[in-house]
Amino acid sequence: MIDIDGSYLEGGGQILRTSVALSCVTGKPVRVFSIRANRPQPGLKAQHLQSIKAAAKLCNAKVSGLFLGSEKIEFVPGEIQGGSLSINVGTAGSIGLVLQTLMIPAIHAKKPVELHITGGTDVSWSPSVGFIQHVKLPLLEKMGYSGRLALEKRGYYPKGGGRVAMVIGPGRLGEINLTEQGKP
């Protein structure tokens, strides 16, 4: 099991999302402790909880410590599957952050992954669905990524209620060459 200190650098949720995503892809179990330790309210929030639950379903993982406020989880991945996942953050928690956890593992599934996510589409301190749709996805497509993202309804703080649908893969990521400056 790989131990990850969640208080490292900014000590926010990114290290958790990345650790779980890479665990799915590599098949290596992780233990993340001191989750969001540098935040005013440490531990798992709704968007982290739903992201990890969805990643666990995607790769048939066994997870312990999965509850609101938890400051430690253990994630033991299985094989990445395809299929349909419905995720309701239950708040205005960021759909973009949920997608950060799922987009890379999903491309490695044996069959397409269909995601239906409800939450916040445009919330502070998070990548918007527009960013995912118009910046991140086109960049990943240059690496061979196969995904389609549809914004069904916008959702804002404090209620959320936004909806997106995304179909991913299957496929593999290749190399990318970013030595030439793009045009605006």
Q: What's CA 56's distance to the chain center, in Å?
A: 11
pLDDT on residue 184: 67
Q: How many domains does the chain have?
A: 1
Answer yes or no: is 173 within a domain. no
Structure-block tokens of residue 7: 């208080």
Residue 25 CB neighbour total at 10 angstroms: 17
Answer yes or no: is 182 within a domain. no
pLDDT on residue 177: 86
Specify the range with the lowest mean pLDDT, choosing from 50-59, 154-163, 174-183: 174-183
- What is the tens place of the pLDDT at every residue in 115-174? 999 999 999 989 999 999 999 999 999 999 999 999 999 999 988 999 999 999 999 899
How much is the mean pLDDT over the chain? 93
Is the bond leading into 170 cis (omega within 30 degrees of zero)? yes
Answer yes or no: is 174 within a domain. no
What phi and psi values does residue 115 have, to the nearest 5 degrees?
A: -110, 135
Q: Which CATH number does the domain housing residue 98 bear?
A: 3.65.10.20
Its domain, for residue 127, covers 2-168
